[in-house]
Structure 1
Amino acid sequence: MEFLTTLVNDVNGLVWGPPMLVLILGTGFFLMLLLRFMPLRRIGTGFAMIWRGRHRGDAATGEISPFEALMTCLAATVGTGNIAGVATAIAVGGPGALFWMWCTALVGMATKYCEVVVAVHFREKDKRGEHAGGPMYAIKNGLGRKWLWLGFAFAIFGGLAGFGIGNMVQVNSMAQALEATFHVPGWVTGVVTMILIGLVILGGIKRIGVVAASLVPFMCVAYVLAGLVVLAVNVDRIPEALDLIFTHAFSPIAATGGFAGAAVMAAIRFGVARGIFSNEAGLGSAGIAQAAGTTSNAVESGLIGMMGTFIDTLIICSITGLAIVCSGVWSSGKSGAELSAMAFEVSMPGMGGIILTIALVIFAFTTILGWSYYGEKCWEFLLGTKSTVPYRVIWVIAIPFGAITQLDFAWLMADTLNGLMALPNLVSLILLSPVIVKLTRDYFKNRAEAGELSLQGK
C-alpha cells in the first residue's frame, strides 16, 4: 500500500505540476487569442443570456433550461474548493496566489466557452431519447473513430474521479465541519446526506436541475453577502490586502507569524492549481451538464457556460481570498477550511464560524449532486444506458462510507484522476478549435445581419 501511495503521489505531482498547469493556461490563452478575446468582451452578453435562459424552451432540444444547466455546473464547481481550496493556496503560496487564481479564471472563460460549444454541437441522444454530451462525445463525433480511445480515457478518468472528488471527499468535509461546529456525529451526516441525495438523483437530470436552480443562486448570494460583511468590517485593510496580493504575485514573500514564506513559483503553482480545481476550466466537465440544456445554438450555450467560471472564481473565490487576507489571518499558519473559518470568526465573533460551516455544507451537498450527473454520463458512454440505475444506487450507497472513513488515499487518487481529465479534453479543444471559431463567427455575423447584435462588448 505504501508503494501504491508513493506511486500515485508521484503521478499527482506530475498531473498538477508546472507542465500541466502551463498546458491548461497555455491552451486557454491560445483559445482566447483565436476568439479575439470575445469571452471577456461578452461578459455582459453572458449575464443577459443567463437571464433569458430561465425558461426551458423546446423540450425537443434538451431536458432542462439553460439556466438550470448552468446551476448544475455551478453546483458541481462551487464546493469545498471555494472555501478550503482558496485558503490552502494562500496558506502555501501567500496572498499572491489569489492574483494567479484570477488569471486562471480569465483565460479559463475561453476554455469553458469552447468546452461547452463543442459539447452541445456534437451531443447526441441516448436510447432513452435524452441528450448526452461532453468531451467524450465531442471526441467521438468531432474527431472520429481514430480518436475514440481518447474519449474512453476521459470517461474512465471522470467516472472514477467522481466517486472521490465529487462524492466521498465532499461528504467527508461536510461531516468534519458539522462535527467540529455542531457536534453532529459523522454517521448521522452520512445517512441524512445519502437520503437527500438519493431523493434527488434517482429522479435524473430534470430533478437535479430543479434543485440546483433553487439552491445554488441562494447559496452563492448568501455566501457573497456574508463575505462582504467581513470585508466591510476590515474595510480599512483592503488597500493593504490588494497591495500584498499584487506585490507578492511577482516577488517572494518572507516568513511572518506562522507563515513559512513562499517563492513566486509557489504563488503561481498553487494559485493556478486551486483555481482550476475550483472552476474546472480545462477539465471538460461543464459541457456534460450544458449538453442537457434546451438550446438550438451551441454558441449561446457557450456564452452561458463561460459565466460559471466568472461566478465561481472571480466572485466567490475572490470573496474567500480577500476575507482571509483582509482579516490578517493568512499568516497564522492555519490552512484549508480552518483558515477560512478563522477569517470569518475573527470578523464576526460567535457567528463567523457557524456561517462558514453552513456554507461549506451546502456547497459540498450541491457538488455531490452536480458530480453525480457527470459520473453518470461518463459511465453511460462506457457501458450504455443500462448502467444508469446501478450507478445511481452505488453513488448513493458510497455517501455514508465517505462520511466516516479516512480518505487520504482516496483524496489523492481522485485528485489525480480529476487532473488527468484535462489531457483528453485539451487535446480535443485544440484539434476542434477551427470548428469553434467558425461557429462563433457565424453566430455573431448572423446576429449582426439580423440587427440583434448588442453594442455591448464592441
Structure 2
Amino acid sequence: MEQFLDSVVGILWGPTLLVGLLGTGLYFSVITRFWQLRHFFDSFRFCFLPDKKGELLPADKSRVTPYQAACVAIAGSIGSGNIGGVASAIALGGPGVLFWMWMTALVGMMTKMAEVTLAVYYRKQDPDGKKTGGPLFYIEKGLGRRFKFWGIFSVLFTVGIFMQLILAPEAYTVGESLHEMTGFRVIYLSAFFCLMCALVIWGGLKRVIGFASFMMPFMSILYIVFGAYIIVINAVHIPAAVALIVKSAFTPVAAVGGFAGASFMLAARTGIARGLFSNEAGWGTSPMVHATADNRHPVEQGMWGVMEVFVDTIVVCTVTGLVIVLTGEWSSGVSGSTLTINAFAHGLGKKFAAYFIAISLFLFSWTTVTGWYSYFHSILEYVFKNNMPVRKAALWILRITTPFFGLIMAYMIDVLNTNVSYAWLIVDISSSVPTYVNLIVLLLLSGTFVAILKDYEGAGKLFGLGEYSEVKVD
C-alpha cells in the first residue's frame, strides 16, 4: 500500500505540479516585475506598522479587520508542518529540501497575493454587511462567464479541501509529541487535543477569529526566539550549513549516518510539497478568510497574503530547518517531531526541548485546526447558499464534528498500527487536487489580477469600500 500511495504522490506531485506551482508564482512575479520584492518593505510596513489607529482590532465586533483575517490565515498555515513536517521532509530528502521550500515561498508570495486579491475582488457582501469569498466565488464569477463547465472546477476544489477535514494529521502529530513528554498513549492525548479544539470551534467564527488574533503572534514569537537562540550559538556553522543546503538542492545526497540518501528529484519534490503544505500558496485556502476582511482595496489584503507566506515559510520553517541542519541531526535517521526535539536539545537540553516542542506543536496545531474550520465553514456557506435551512443544519454539524475528525488518523496509526508515512502521503494526495484546480483558475484570471494591481498603483480610482465585484476590470 505504501508503495502504491508513493507512486500516486509521484504522479500528482510529479513535474507537472512542481512546474505548475513554481511556474505560476514565477509567471505572476514576471508580469508584475516581481512586485513582492519591489514592494516587500511597503507591504511589511502596511501590514505590521499601520499609520491609522484601530486597524488591528475592530471597534465593531461584527467586523473583521485585515489583521484579524490574516491572523486566522497565518494561524491556519502555521501548524504541525512547520515543526514535524519540515523535519520529516529533511529526513526524507536531505538539507536541499529547505532550499526548495525557500524557492516555493519566494514565488509563492505572488501566487498568494493573486489569489487573495481575486478573492476580495469577487467576494459577495450580504445586506447585513457580512462578506464571503474565496476560490469558489472567483471560479463562478470569473470563469462562469467564459467556460460552460466551470462547475467541475468547483466540485474538484471542494472535494480536495474536505479530504483535509477527514484526514487531518494534527491530532496525531500533537499526540505523538505529548507522548514523548508524558508517556501516555497517543490516542488519549490526541483526544485531549481534539477537546481543546472543540472549546474554540464550538464558540463559532467570532471565537475562532479572536483566538487566532491573540495566539498567532504569541506562539510565533515564542518559537522564533528559542529557535534563533540555537542558531546564534551555532553561528560559526551557518556558512557551511547554507552551502550544504544549496549543494544538496541540486545534487544527489549520499547515505550518511541514519540518512538513506536522496536524489535531486526527491529533494525538489519533497521541498515544494512541504512548502505548499506549510504556506498553502496556490492551495486556495486562506483566500476564504481574507475575503471576509474590511479593506479599502483588494490589493491591500493581497499584501497580507505576501506577509503570510513570508512569516510561515521564510521565518518559521527556516528556523526549524536551520536548527536541524546546524546541529547535524538531519542525518540521524529519525524524523518528525522527534527529530526537531533532538535538534533543539543541542541548545535547550533534552528535557526542556521535549517540553518546548510539545507545547509549540500543541499551539501551532491548535490554531491550524481552528483556523481551517473557517475554510470548511466558507465552503458550506457557498454550497448551500440557496437553501438556508440545509445550510444552517450543515454548518451546525460541521461545528460539532470538525474537532474530532483528527482522531481518524490517530486511531489508524496508534491503534491499527498503520505506518506513519501513509499519513503524509495521503495528505500530499489530498492537497494536490485543489491546488491543480486553483492554479489553472489563477492563470485564467491573471489579466484581471494585473488590472486590479494597476488600479491600485494608480491610486485606486475604481474602488471604494466593499462591492468590488460590481466593478469590472476584466
**TM-score between the two structures when normalised by the length of structure 1:** 0.90
Query: How far apart are 1:21 and its partner, in Å?
Result: 1.1
Q: Which amino acid aligns with 1:393?
A: I
**Separation in structure 1 between the aligned mates of residue 459 and residue 60 of structure 2, nearest angstrom:** 21
Please give the per-residue CA displacement for 1:133-191, whole angstroms capped at 9, x wherever unaligned: 111111011111621321222122112322323xxx10111111111212344454344
Change (3 A) 1:402 1:128: farther
Give the C-alpha shift of residue 331 in structure 1: 1.2
The separation in 1 between residues aligned to 2:5 and 2:241, in whole angstroms, is 37
Once the two structures are superposed, what CA deviation does each residue of 1:42-98 show, in whole Å capped at 9, x if it has no partner? 221222222334133788xx8411111111111111111111221122222221221
Matched residue, 2:437 = 424
Q: 1:28 maps to which residue?
A: 25
Which residue pairs with 2:166 in the alignment?
Answer: 163
What is the deviation of 1:9? 4.8
- The Cα of 1:6 is off from its aligned counterpart by 6.8
Superposition CA RMSD, Å: 2.4
How many Å separate the matches in 1 of 2:362 and 2:313? 19
Mapped partners of 2:346, 2:176: distance in 1: 21
Taking structure 1 as reference, are residues 405 and 7 closer, same or farther at Cα in structure 2, changes over 3 Å only?
closer
Q: How does 1:310-329 map to 2 (within 5 A)?
A: 310-329=310-329
Deviation at 1:412, TM superposition (A): 4.1
Within 1, Cα distance between the matches of 2:261 and 2:428?
Answer: 25
Q: 1:240-251 alignment to 2 at 5 Å?
A: 240-251=240-251
Indicate the residue corresponding to 1:56 in structure 2: 58
Q: Is this contact kept in 2: 1:251–1:264, CA < 8 A?
A: yes
Match of 2:468 in 1: none
Where does 1:330-345 land on structure 2 (aligned, <5 Å)?
330-345=330-345
Instruction: Establish whether residue 40 from structure 1 lines up as the match of residue 37 from structure 2.
Output: yes
* Counterpart AA for 1:422: T
Q: Which residue of 1 aligns with 2:469?
A: none
SS at match of 1:294: coil
**How far apart, CA to CA, are the structure 2 residues paired with 1:300 and 1:383?**
30
In structure 2, the residue corresponding to 1:446 is in which secondary structure? coil
Which 10-residue stretch deviates more, 69-78 or 232-241?
Answer: 232-241
Q: Deviations over 1:410-429 (max 9, x none)?
A: 65444312211101111110
Give how far 1:197 is off: 2.1
| 1:346-357 to 2 correspondences below 5 Å | 346-349=346-349, 350-357=351-358
Unaligned regions of 5+ residues in structure 1, if any?
Answer: 449-458
Q: Shift in Å at residue 323 of structure 1?
A: 0.3
SS class of match (1:351): helix
Counterpart in the other structure of 1:379: 380
Contact 1:162–1:374 under 8 Å retained in 2:
no
Deviation for aligned residue 1:278: 0.8
CA distance in 2, matches of 1:294, 1:69: 9
- How far off its partner does 1:253 sit? 2.3
Amino acid aligned to 1:137: F
State how far apart, in whole Å, the 2-side matches of 1:194 and 1:343 are: 28
Deviations 1:338-382 (A, max 9, x none): 211110112321322221111111111111011111122223322
Which residue of 1 is the match for residue 76 of structure 2?
Answer: 76
What residue is the counterpart of 2:395 in the other structure?
A: 388
Q: Distance in 1 between matches of 2:267 and 2:231?
A: 23
Q: Which amino acid aligns with 1:131?
A: K
2:12 — aligned with what?
Answer: 15
Q: Is the 8 A contact 1:72 1:209 kept in 2?
A: yes
Matched letter for residue 314 of structure 1? I
Letter in 2 for 1:437: V
Alpha-carbon contact 1:57-1:294 (below 8 Å) kept: no
In structure 2, C-alpha distance between the alignment counterparts of 1:6 and 1:126, rounded to whole Å: 49
After TM superposition, give the deviation of residue 400 of structure 1 in Å: 4.7
Preserved CA contact (<8 Å) 1:345 1:352: yes
Q: Is the 8 A contact 1:327 1:347 kept in 2?
A: no
* 1:388 alignment partner, SS class: helix
Is the contact between residue 63 and residue 131 of structure 1 (CA under 8 Å) also seen in structure 2? no
Asked if 2 retains the 8 angstrom alpha-carbon contact of 1:63 and 1:206, the reply is no
Asked if the contact 1:157–1:417 (Cα under 8 Å) also holds between the matched residues in 2, the reply is yes
Quote how far apart the aligned CAs of 1:270 are: 1.3
Q: For residues 177 and 128 of structure 1, do their structure 2 counterparts lie closer, same or farther at Cα, with a shift above 3 Å needed?
A: farther
Which residue number corresponds to residue 398 of structure 1? 405
Using the alignment, how far apart are the partners of 1:334 and 1:126 within structure 2?
Answer: 51
Structure 2: runs of 5 or more not aligned: 386-390, 462-474
Could you say if the C-alpha distance between residues 188 and 130 of structure 1 is closer, same or farther in structure 2, counting changes exceeding 3 Å? farther
- CA shift in 2, pair 1:296/1:26, >3 Å: same
Mapping of residues 262-273 of structure 1, within 5 Å: 262-273=262-273
Aligned-partner residue type, residue 193 of structure 1: F
Seen in structure 2, the aligned counterparts of structure 1 residues 63 and 158 have a Cα distance that, compared at 3 Å, is farther
Q: Secondary structure at the match of 1:421?
A: helix
Name the CA shift for 1:397/1:250 in 2 (closer, same or farther; >3 Å).
closer
Judged with a 3 Å threshold, the aligned counterparts in structure 2 of structure 1 residues 339 and 396 are, in CA distance, closer, same or farther, namely closer
Report % sequence identity.
36
- Tell whether 2:455 aligns with 1:442: yes
Question: Which residue of structure 2 lines up, in the alignment, with residue 451 of structure 1?
Answer: none
For residues 68 and 109 of structure 1, the distance between their equivalents in structure 2, rounded to whole angstroms, comes to: 19
Residue 279 (structure 1) aligned with residue 279 (structure 2): yes
SS at the partner of 2:457?
A: helix
Q: Structure 1 residue 8: deviation in Å?
A: 5.2
**Structure 1 residues 6 and 322: CA distance shift in structure 2, 3 A:** closer
